[in-house]
Amino acid sequence: ETPSDKDPGSAPSENLPDPDAIVIEGDKIQVYLDRKLKSIGNASLTQDQQEVYGDTIEYDVQNEELHVIGNVRLETKGGRIKGPELRLNPAEGTGEMKQPTFELDNQLGSLPQFGISGNQRQDNDNLMYNTNATPLTQQNIEDSGYSPGLSRRQGASRGDASGVVFEGPDRKRLKDARYTTCEVGSDDWYIRAKELELDDYSRTGTARNARVEFQGVPILWTPWVNFSFMNQRKSGFLAPTWGTTSRSGFEFLMPFYWNIAPDMDATIGTRFLSKRGMQYQGEFRYLNEDYQGTANIEYLPSDTSSGENRYYAKFAHLHNFHNGWTAAYNLEKVSDEKYFSEMSTRIVTTSRVNLPQQAYVNYADENWTFNALVQKFQTLDGVNYPLQRLPQLTLTGDNDWGPFDVKLFTQWANFERNNDAIRTQSTLSGGTLDTLVTGKRLVAYPSISLPMSRPYGYITPKLGVHYTQYQVDNGDFTVSDSNGNITSQGIYQSQSRSLPIFSLDSGLYFERDTRVVNNRYTQTLEPRLYYVYIPYRDQSLIPVFDSSSSDLNMNSLFLENQFTGQDRINNANQLTLAVTSRLISKKTGEQRLAMTIGQRYYFADEKVYLPGVNPRSGDTSDIVGEISARLLNHWNLDIFGQYNTDRNVYVRNNINARYNPEPGKTLNIGYRYTEDRLEQINISGQWPLGKGWYGLGRWNYSLRENIPIEGVAGLEYDAGCWQARTVMQRVATATADANYALYFQLELGGLASIGQNPLKLLNRAIPGYTSSSLIPDSYQ
């Protein structure tokens, strides 16, 4: 019965060691059969993924106990723990170690920083809500103020403790632990916790009775906070933020993040405002692949300054039925008109005049789109009351029919007025239009075009009939000029209007190879000719619901109708000529430079115009020129000019240059001029000052009003494992005095950010700004 006599000579082939076999190595091993095994001299024991190293390892075979003495190192999934002595049962993963120091391969990440830091996150909710509202993309739900493209630096992190108890293969509990992301040798900051639990399996850490010490000074205490390794969402207190503003005084916000479910979370915060009292804030978010949305509520009971209850509420939801149908609503309301300017410092918020309250149902497929919209606004400035569309139904079609392209635009809309809307509206010429006209409008605009295109050019004749029918209520109106005397008076009539529209678009493409410095480019020369004929119809008694004049630019030069909307269709017998030249890199296909110049020639006088606007004089439009360059030497140039040939004067003139050689270095210089409306210089930039310091600045000065519009000055310091930034902002506001805001923020290695988060301000104020926590060290 002796085991089969294999060739005794060769060692038994350990083909694939049993994964949970224990392998012990060392300089010398003493074996007490079936009792104990002792390895002496840089001993090591490995089982499955766990590895233990030490001077001597005693392994008690009976109860599978491990006792390691002398610079012990325990390698685990997430990192390693070192200490003088370790007792461990490798099978159960239980045991304990004295005076451990630990290193984690990645950082305990803080939760994505929500915008609940004193004011809502308004970046992508523009106040001009377009009809098929841009869906709440994933991007703007997780907007955390970091510039796109650069992900957070994931460095290692370390710490020590008085003792660690292993409670299972993935769970460790450290007593009197210290944790930091700073390299060994620099203890600039650490989190000290009575107890720190690390869980490799759920990749989370929980600290009890924890306080943050920065340069030895305790700056934050929290009874309970937890983190996630890989930025997963975990309920817990977020780092508090504080700051001061001239309007609301000192403010302190303590948010709590509640991870309700994988697709649902909420942030509840209490915000103390020294001049106003305690404000409660809540943001609830949900996202799954069928629908997504947010609900924001802010409530300040009995504001000490004004005594009333003040609130702000926003509910947004987008539903995707995946069969072409989508639906959404977006409702916002504030308790009083001063709410934003008094409760917030961010321009994106304080500049809001009309809060959208709208809902839409949308359908789109290859050839048809349908949109049903109900939209009205809460107006905050008591002056500009947009018309309400209750509802507007739009159906558009775009089908190929043989070589022809048949398009159809049909719309029915019922325009009503906000019942506390005032009679007078300003006209484009600075005068006023007094009317309370409302009405229903039906539009049908079928058109057929024959696109004939070859690689070297194209010709596209297009013919359409624009039919509109109005049903007008209380249509009397009075137009007066800027010094108040009446220029025209009457009653808008229910009527219909139909106009044939003919256009001929044609263009040629010429190319040649050129070489600039030592790069090979294709240079194009693209002349374009665009003729439009629309007969004249008297439209002076047609009410204006959604028509206005659009900016003259390369886009609007090639439009049939110079007026946006449907209420004014210009009479036209005009020819537009433009020439574009592009430099396209042969290697990457990128467009390095594009130059365009264009002008329109009128063969008929302008007979259709907006209320209070005097007709065009002269038979040519302004000359429009654009240059946009994305040069290889990191310079971006955008120049736009609109020159009036009759008066020999620039109507609009914008020059913008940006130099952005690498993340952390950006410089923007801009001059913007619009006749009688705007003349501003703005200079902004971020530049390293050496040794981890960065200077930040923006200066926006209005030459027309001779006052600084916005000034931002800041300093940022990157010490590798922590970043601090302080930003001062002065911005002109509607009320007399400017609003000053001071931001101070301390970012501790992606774990906690303390203080008011100025990143959103910096991203807007300094185009190309990159937070120093994202700049790879190589650029420092």
Look-up: residue for tokens 């002269």?
618
Find the binder of another protein among 204, 248, 292, 350 (CB under 8 A).
350
Q: Per-residue b/e over 478-489, b at no fewer than 16 CB within 10 Å?
A: bbbbeeeeeeee
28 binds another protein (CB under 8 A): yes
Find the binder of another protein among 128, 217, 261, 517 (CB under 8 A).
128
C-alpha dist (Å) from residue 744 to 69, 241, 464, 688, 747: 47, 9, 59, 19, 10
230 binds another protein (CB under 8 A): no
22 binds another protein (CB under 8 A): yes
684 binds another protein (CB under 8 A): no
What contacts 748, CB < 8 A, 6 or more positions away?
181, 189, 191, 212, 214, 721, 722, 754
Find the binder of another protein among 4, 15, 33, 633 (CB under 8 A).
33
Instruction: Tell me which stretch binds another protein (CB under 8 A): 198-206, 310-318, 375-383, 746-754.
Output: 375-383
- CA 377 to chain CA centroid, nearest Å: 24
- CA 301 to chain CA centroid, nearest Å: 31
Instruction: Tell me which stretch binds another protein (CB under 8 A): 15-23, 178-186, 490-498, 571-579.
Output: 15-23
Q: Look up residue 462 and give its two tokens.
A: 């297009």
Find the binder of another protein among 17, 218, 695, 776 (CB under 8 A).
17
Closest CB 377 distance from another protein, rounded Å: 8
Find the binder of another protein among 305, 414, 494, 553 (CB under 8 A).
553
CA 150, CA 654: separation in Å to the nearest integer? 30
Find the binder of another protein among 524, 599, 644, 780 (CB under 8 A).
524
Number of residues lying near another protein (CB under 8 A)? 111
Q: Look up residue 773 and give its two tokens.
A: 């926590």
689 binds another protein (CB under 8 A): no
Nearer to another protein, 610 or 746 (CB): 610
779 binds another protein (CB under 8 A): no
Find the binder of another protein among 20, 420, 676, 737 (CB under 8 A).
20
Nearer to another protein, 126 or 302 (CB): 126
Question: Which residues 478-517 are close enough to bind another protein by CB under 8 A?
Answer: 508-512
Q: What is the DSSP letter of 545?
A: S
Task: Tell me if residue 129 falls in helix, strand or coil.
Answer: coil
Nearer to another protein, 302 or 367 (CB): 367
Q: What is the DSSP letter of 692?
A: T
C-alpha dist (Å) from residue 249 to 241, 274, 341, 342, 607: 14, 5, 13, 10, 56
Q: Look up residue 658 and give its two tokens.
A: 């940006």
Q: Look up residue 656 and give its two tokens.
A: 């913008």
Beta strands in 631-777 (DSSP E): 635-644, 649-662, 665-674, 678-690, 693-702, 707-718, 722-731, 739-748, 752-755
Question: Which residues 614-633 are close enough to bind another protein by CB under 8 A?
Answer: 628
Instruction: Tell me which stretch binds another protein (CB under 8 A): 102-110, 129-137, 164-172, 278-286.
Output: 129-137
Q: Look up residue 360 and give its two tokens.
A: 């839409």
129 binds another protein (CB under 8 A): yes
Find the binder of another protein among 117, 245, 700, 753 (CB under 8 A).
700
- Per-residue interface string for the shown chain with another protein, residues 447-466, x marking contact by CB under 8 A: ------x-xxx---------
Nearer to another protein, 27 or 538 (CB): 27
Closest CB 454 distance from another protein, rounded Å: 9
Q: Look up residue 248 and give its two tokens.
A: 């609301």
Nearest to 724 by CA among 698, 692, 760, 763: 692
Q: How many CB atoms lie within 10 A of CB 570?
A: 23
Find the binder of another protein among 71, 209, 426, 488 (CB under 8 A).
426
Q: Look up residue 314 and give its two tokens.
A: 């926003």
Find the binder of another protein among 185, 589, 615, 690 (CB under 8 A).
589
Nearer to another protein, 37 or 239 (CB): 37
Q: How many CB atoms lie within 10 A of CB 544?
A: 21
**Mind giving me the DSSP string for 587-647?**
TT--EEEEEEEEEEEESS------TT-PPP-SSB--EEEEEEEE-TTSEEEEEEEEEETTT
Closest CB 246 distance from another protein, rounded Å: 14
Closest CB 225 distance from another protein, rounded Å: 33
Nearest to 115 by CA among 303, 349, 278: 349
Question: Which residue type, as a one-letter code, is found at position 3?
Answer: P
Nearer to another protein, 179 or 477 (CB): 477
Nearer to another protein, 21 or 689 (CB): 21
Question: Which residues 654-683 are close enough to bind another protein by CB under 8 A?
Answer: 654, 672, 674, 677-678, 680, 682
Q: Phi, psi at residue 716, to the nearest 5°?
A: -135, 135
Nearer to another protein, 717 or 740 (CB): 740
39 binds another protein (CB under 8 A): yes
Look-up: residue for tokens 């039906």?
442
Find the binder of another protein among 184, 436, 631, 734 (CB under 8 A).
734
Nearer to another protein, 597 or 715 (CB): 597
Nearer to another protein, 143 or 718 (CB): 143
34 binds another protein (CB under 8 A): yes
